[in-house]
Chains A and B, each alone.
Chain A
């Protein structure tokens, strides 16, 4: 097995034993990346930075006491500001933007000795569930079962494809409504969205600030625990970052969930969901029961209203956050006609720079925040959001330790298949994941099986706030019971 296909945990052991150098490990990823341009996952490659970081990591490992991520080659979603390296959120409006600063997450990762292989494709401004709205063109999933090209999911589609195709050991993702968990489920990898406030948002291009949270996308639950430990922690530069100690998430993986109460929310049994998804869910329930957990039917009565509430709150925040792209301080500015003033400059720049879905969401957000509609839409959505959060609080207060649900309503679909669909149909991809962002809770997607077509399916576990360690331990039990080892056959 070539080194690029290793887990973080396996690479950590090999690096420490001296079985491989960080430079050789990095080279094996760079070689795999260069052979995978057909996936369109890496959109800005940084081999020089990677090799410099790998050499430094080798010296640090040789000196002893290096952190777990030292020498581990990672992919970084294009949403994270990386100093001197293109960072454009897959949008033409940020074309040519090279930040003069480094995001807190990448600063922490590099501080622990991690290696950056390059920037990863995504949906424009993280708005999408199929990675088809990127200015770089769509990402192609490494999974292929017929003549079609499939979506890796979105918005962190480049991250998911790169990890599943072994172009890197792990990747950063961000999740506003399911953008880590849905692509992880579509590509057979692990993805965790931490509790809101666990990971600093500073230096991550903002979409919806009260929902956005960064997290790891990895080949195993253990890797997610290791990676999250490096990303997480208080940051004075993000006023919503929690001033809490970061526990040792890896140490929480005991594999023992005996006596834990797993909630099965009845509102997640949706009409029209494929029988395979339901069967997978039942299988997951049996696995948790066999591991000694108690299965409890629960009710989260406001679940049905999560999607419409999300599609008010997220566009509202996006319309405000994206107001900064005005062609003045960075990125694209439209060529102006004789006599055009500053308003024409804004309007032409934003029309040229933003793609169709981003424009649509900015305008929906503008509408729901406009005078006369603020109470009817935005304030009502925030009230419903409070009720959704309370549903979870009541379940946890009644003794539930974790909640098990499907991660997605289907397996991956073909690129272009949703092109003629109503925007709302695409939004339904988020039906199982979006509640978690609204409530600020941690949620993890774990690959559990393949459908009849041979495509990965995942289950989602939802945990209590700040209890990512306990949540990952539940995920670890599910991962071991499921024994998912399938990999996409290389065709690219």
Chain B
């Protein structure tokens, strides 16, 4: 399946990666090449095969639903590009 420029623009938008208009044809071509490589998977008969969900058969562990950590606001905010008054700061979200 070939990716056109509109699809490339849509994928970039979904991925939240800014791609300039003049880069879109190249991107569309690269994505088409990679997806073309994946087309080989259509040769395989997968009737009745369950998609793999767990690499090694194991039951996920359960744990008590209790707080085991916390009160580390300073540590959590320490690497933020913009932290103010104990919060992460971002551009205005609500008009």
Contact = CB atoms under 8 A, between A and B. Distances in A.
A362 B30 CA distance: 13
A350 B91 contact: no
Contacts of B67: none
A261 interface: no
Contacts of A32: none
Interface of A: 96-100, 195-197, 210, 236, 239-240, 242-243, 302, 304-305, 307-309, 311-312, 319, 323, 326-333, 336, 340-348, 350-351, 354, 359-360, 362-364, 366-368, 370, 377, 379-387, 389, 422-424, 427, 440, 465
Contacts of B14: 366, 370
B45 to A, nearest CB: 9
B80 A196 contact: no
Contacts of A336: 91
The interface residues of chain B, by DSSP majority, are classed as loop
Contacts of B60: 239
Contacts of B72: 100
B66 interface: no
B7 to A, nearest CB: 8
Contacts of A424: 33-34, 37
A350 B30 contact: no
A133 to B, nearest CB: 15
Contacts of A387: 44, 46, 49
B34 to A, nearest CB: 5
A328 to B, nearest CB: 5
B52 A380 contact: no
Contacts of B84: none
Contact of A242 (B11, B46, B56, B90): B56
B5 to A, nearest CB: 13
Most buried by A among B19, B35, B52, B78: B52
A328 B50 contact: no
A278 to B, nearest CB: 24
Contact of B61 (A236, A309, A328, A348): A236
B80 A340 contact: no
A309 B91 CA distance: 39
B86 interface: no
A372 to B, nearest CB: 11
B81 A331 contact: yes
Most buried by A among B14, B31, B43, B76: B14
28 contacts: A100-B79, A197-B56, A240-B56, A240-B58, A242-B56, A305-B44, A308-B38, A308-B39, A311-B37, A311-B38, A312-B38, A328-B88, A329-B76, A333-B81, A342-B90, A342-B92, A345-B91, A354-B17, A362-B17, A363-B8, A377-B38, A377-B41, A380-B41, A386-B51, A387-B44, A423-B30, A427-B37, A440-B55
B71 interface: no
Nearest to A387: B49
A127 to B, nearest CB: 13
A309 B41 contact: yes
B17 A351 contact: yes
A239 B61 contact: yes
